[in-house]
Amino acid sequence: MDSPGQDGQQVVWTVVTTGIGPLLLAATGDGLVNVVFHAAGAARDRALERLAARLGTEPVEAPGSPLLAEAIRQVEAYFAGGRRDFDLPLDWSLISGFNRQVLRELAAGVPFGQVVGYGDLAGRVGRPDAAQAVGTAMGANPLPVVVPCHRVVESDGGIGGFGGGVDTKRRLLALEGVLPEPLF
């Protein structure tokens, strides 16, 4: 169903097969708006329902859409080891306030192959006492992988939590050379 949202904006989506499982990519005319892990079956359907509720329009499956073409190309290149950075227009409409500020700093300031502690990232946005709030921002990230919340770790050397699961976080960090490749 091709129904524009409250502002007339269409949302298109597709699922891309990656080394960490299927990722749902959704975009608007403003850019990539959502990336969802483990996007198969009921999990994919729930993600699309949440996206429709948040954006006020029914997302349309459109794997050939020009709005998705570059995101698909860059995600595939990243997982093939041929891309270190994402250079995509992003639609930040699913996140605001402190969480958006933290995620923008993460995207701009923590490059491929590096990690940052929750407290260090809090300090970068002028809130050195807000490490726990940074963790909340990572959990609310609507654009994981592209906005690399997997690069945020605990200051004591622990890997920390991850919305896509700790195994997925380990695989992403291994892809970037931060951790050894999992044995199985």
Q: What is the DSSP annotation of 102-157? A: HHHHHHHHS-TT--EEHHHHHHHTT-TT-HHHHHHHHHT-SSTTTS-GGGEE-TTS
Catalytic residue chosen out of the listed positions 12, 138, 149, 153: 149
Three-state DSSP state, 87: coil
Looking only at the bridges linking them, the beta strands covering 116-117 and 60-61 are unpaired
**Closest-CA residue to 100 (of 152, 67, 142):** 142
d(CA 170, CA 77): 19
Would residue 157 show up in a list of annotated catalytic residues for this protein? no
Catalytic residues: 149
